[in-house]
Structures are given as C-alpha cells and as structure tokens.
C-alpha cells in the first residue's frame, strides 16, 4: 500500500523520481480520456510528497510534465498532507502561491491528523480540505467523530473551502455527510482502485451524453 512503500521511497531518495512518474502517468491518462471524448466532472487529483515540494524546480517541472501530455494546470488538483505544510512554512507558502498562480488547485490531505495551527489555513493558498478517514470511519456511532467532521465542514464553508470525506464505506455515511454539507467523498462505498480504462468506462460519461 502507499502507506508502506512511500516512506521507503522517501528514505531511499526515490520519491521525487517516483512522484514525477506519477504526475506524468496521471497526465497521460487525463489526455487519453479527453481524446476519447470522456467528460471528467472535476479536476484530476494527484498526491504530492513533502520532499517534492522541497525542490526549488517543483512547480516548473510539474507544469512541464503536464505540457508534454497536453494537459493544463487548471485541470489538476495537487494534494499535500497537513503535516508536510508545516515542515518549512515560508517555503511551502511560496510554493503554493506559485502553484495557484499557474492555475492548480491545492487540497490538504488527511486533514485533522497533523499538528498545524488553524492559522495556517489563512496563510496557505488552498482550495479544499480532505477530512481524514479516522474521523469518518466511526462517525455514525461515535458522537465525537461526528462532531469533528461537522465542525471541519462548517469551518471550511465559512472559509469558502470545499471539503471531501475520505474512507466512506457505507451509504449511511455518505448520506450523513451530504446532510452536513460535505458533497465530495471517496472510499470503498464508491469503488476500489481500478485500471484507467475501467475507471473511464464506469465513471466518465462521453461528452455527447453528458451534454445531452
């Protein structure tokens, strides 16, 4: 799983190369789906390591990888973990500002599990909070988890940020999240990870159908 091999790649100095491969591969699939007439309803989300953000050329290199595939930054959302944002706040804020200027959207992944102050939400140029699955998992039976999820959604709304719930496995969870105002979610309730062609067949409508 990513939780196992990503730390190994980071310790081995391979994460930047691996991250660039992921960006290039994701861009290739997005270009392929677009060429096939599929309609992606939003941006394509790509996870980014803190070590990638540390590289001075990260923004320029990412834009170039997308350009090679014929993809624009405004078609992509970059996801960074909450903990990675505070390792070097000044540098991170500068990088995020540059990414936003290029047209990227930025999401904070695993929100609620890091150690950052809420003041960082004002400081960093982000568009979305991804609520960590540790709060979503038991939200139907644990009043504290439910209250935390509701508070994050309400706070994000007041800051004009989108929210996405991670780890949604039950229809009852999805319904409760919608009632709170969290309109985006991911998890096994919607499906497991699948190959790109199968994803397009299952989830992406042809443009002609989507516009009808």
Residue extents of the structural domains in the chain:
1-126, 131-212
List, for residues 37-50, the tens digit of each pLDDT value: 888 889 999 999 88
Rounded to two decimals, the pTM is 0.90
Closest CA to 64 of 91, 106, 107, 24: 24
> What pLDDT is recorded for position 161?
95
pLDDT at 210 over 60: no
> What pLDDT is recorded for position 209?
42
Looking at the domain covering 1-126, what would its CATH class be? alpha beta
Closest CA to 35 of 196, 194, 202, 212: 196
């Amino acid at each position: 799983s990513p939780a196992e091999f990503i730390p190994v790649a980071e310790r081995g100095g391979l994460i930047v190369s691996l991250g660039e491969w992921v960006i290039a591969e994701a861009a290739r699939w997005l270009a392929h789906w677009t060429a096939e007439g599929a309609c992606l309803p939003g941006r394509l989300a790509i996870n980014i390591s803190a070590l990638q953000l540390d590289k001075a050329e990260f923004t320029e290199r990412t834009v170039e990888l997308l350009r090679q595939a014929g993809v624009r930054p405004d078609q992509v959302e970059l996801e960074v973990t909450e903990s990675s944002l505070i390792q070097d706040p000044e540098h991170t804020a500068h990088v995020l500002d540059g990414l936003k200027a290029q047209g990227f959207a930025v999401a904070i992944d695993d929100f609620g599990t890091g150690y950052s102050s809420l003041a960082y939400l004002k400081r960093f140029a982000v568009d979305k909070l991804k609520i960590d699955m540790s709060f979503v998992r038991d939200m139907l039976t644990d009043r504290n988890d439910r209250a935390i999820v509701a508070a994050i959604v309400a706070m994000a709304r007041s800051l004009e940020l989108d929210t996405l719930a991670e780890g949604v496995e039950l229809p009852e969870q999805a319904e409760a999240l919608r009632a709170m105002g969290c309109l985006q979610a991911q998890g096994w309730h919607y499906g497991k990870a699948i190959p790109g062609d199968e994803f397009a067949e299952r989830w992406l409508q042809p443009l002609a159908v989507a516009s009808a």
